Amino acid sequence: MKKSVFLGALTVAGLAAGVAGAATLDDVKARGKLNCGVTTGLVGFAAPDANGEWEGFDVGVCRAVAAAVLGDPTAVEFVPTTGKTRFTALASGEIDILPRNTTWTFSRDVDLKFTFIGVNYYDGQGFMVPKELGVSSAKELDGATVCIQTGTTTELNLADFFRVNNITYEPVPIETNAEAQQQFLAGACDVYTTDASGLAATRATFENPGDYAVLPEIISKEPLGPLVRHGDDEWADIARWTLNALIAAEEYGVTSANVDELASAPTDNPEINRLLGTEGELGAMFGLEPTWAVAAIKAGGNYGELFEKNIGENTPIGLARGLNAQYTDGGLLYTPPFR
């Protein structure tokens, strides 16, 4: 009941804002800054450093869009949002784009009136156990105590998984990831379950990460993507193709290091030429500079560079590319052609 009222209110907000803020691009250009909604802090995805500068994988998307639209990757106003305030902030126009680890679901797309512009990270719910438990598959977890964040989709996924496999578990409800970490280390639960990226980040903070293992089963689909308001397709196009440009840049080997060189003169590859604006007029089609993609790639590098710098295998979080590899490497990243 409460939830439906809340969602209803959000819907009204979405409608009102959709009508009012039809030209986000003009607003952003007039303001000279992109208002970008991020988390209040999530390891690897968005966090302020000691000087208050925001860094992270989601932050990289903000900077790329700002660079594409305004030509300046620092022209971003970061608005920290919580899981509860994020959708209203977007619907009411307080922010222009929300790259905040948000799972693309039917109801969010359709009922809440948002447009997901793509997926920047394919996540899924996993399990972490101490190695001394001697478990190698989630299906062996019969009778285990599980630390689980209450009120999240992970809770429902967990119940589904155990019911389908006809095994039992005992939930240990917890509120935050911080609490989960403490409880799990103290042995209050055998298993900790949340998104696999979160598990990796949590495991990285342990004193002896080697004593803990993430089980191979991924029991849910959590495609995390940036979203914008319904009803402003021009703005959604800009956001979508900026993300696509980062992905395509990796596919074609365009990096922040060589983008200037490749953009200085047309290359042999027409796809790169169209992407970097040395051939065709793609930028002008949605009202941006011809070098919009060059600016976006220079902001923080292509998709692969962003991934490696913030959450990749050389960072403490150490996530493998997995599903987030290019389709040519067996992953799911596949951008439509720039033509």
User: Which residues 143-162 are close enough to bind other proteins by CB under 8 A?
Assistant: none
First to last CA, the chain: 48
CB of 13 to other proteins, least distance (A): 4
Among candidate residues 226, 168, 224, 237, the one with its CA nearest the CA of residue 196: 224
Stretch that binds other proteins, among 108-116, 233-241, 294-302, 309-317 (CB under 8 A): 309-317
List 24, 81, 101, 244, residue binding other proteins (CB under 8 A): 81
Q: Please identify which residue in the block is written with the tokens 């578990």.
A: 169
Q: How many helices (H) and strands (E) does the chain have?
A: 14, 13
DSSP-based three-state secondary structure for 291: coil
Q: Is 21 in the site for other proteins (CB under 8 A)?
A: yes
Residue 209 or 322: the one with the smaller Cβ distance to other proteins is: 209
Residue 85 or 269: the one with the smaller Cβ distance to other proteins is: 85
Q: What is the token pair recorded at 239?
A: 């956001």
Q: Is 23 in the site for other proteins (CB under 8 A)?
A: no
Q: Per-residue contact track with other proteins, 155 to 194, x per CB under 8 A?
A: -----------------------x--xx------------
CB of 81 to other proteins, least distance (A): 5
Among candidate residues 80, 69, 75, 73, the one with its CA nearest the CA of residue 45: 80
Among candidate residues 159, 158, 204, the one with its CA nearest the CA of residue 181: 204
List 7, 72, 77, 171, residue binding other proteins (CB under 8 A): 77
Rounded Cα gap, residues 338 and 191, in angstroms: 45
CB of 134 to other proteins, least distance (A): 25
Residue 39 or 244: the one with the smaller Cβ distance to other proteins is: 39
Among candidate residues 93, 106, 83, 113, the one with its CA nearest the CA of residue 9: 113
Stretch that binds other proteins, among 127-135, 165-173, 311-319, 326-334 (CB under 8 A): 311-319
Stretch that binds other proteins, among 76-84, 127-135, 152-160, 239-247 (CB under 8 A): 76-84
List 25, 34, 44, 129, residue binding other proteins (CB under 8 A): 44
- The partner residues of 170 in beta bridges, in order of sequence, read 145
Q: Are 58 and 99 in contact (CB under 8 A)?
A: yes
Q: Is 43 in the site for other proteins (CB under 8 A)?
A: yes
Residue 39 or 102: the one with the smaller Cβ distance to other proteins is: 39
Contacts of 198 (CB under 8 A, 6+ apart): 177
CB of 112 to other proteins, least distance (A): 13
CB of 9 to other proteins, least distance (A): 6
Distance of CA 112 to CAs 7, 62, 305, 332, Å? 7, 22, 33, 26
Distance of CA 59 to CAs 114, 203, 310, Å? 20, 23, 10
List 205, 258, 260, 264, residue binding other proteins (CB under 8 A): 205
DSSP-based three-state secondary structure for 58: helix
CA atoms within 13 A on the CB side of 39: 16
Number of residues that bind other proteins (CB under 8 A): 47
Q: Is 120 in the site for other proteins (CB under 8 A)?
A: no
Residues at the contact surface with other proteins, assessed by CB under 8 A:
9, 12-13, 16-17, 20-21, 39-52, 56, 77-82, 84-85, 88-89, 91-94, 178, 181-182, 201, 204-207, 315-317
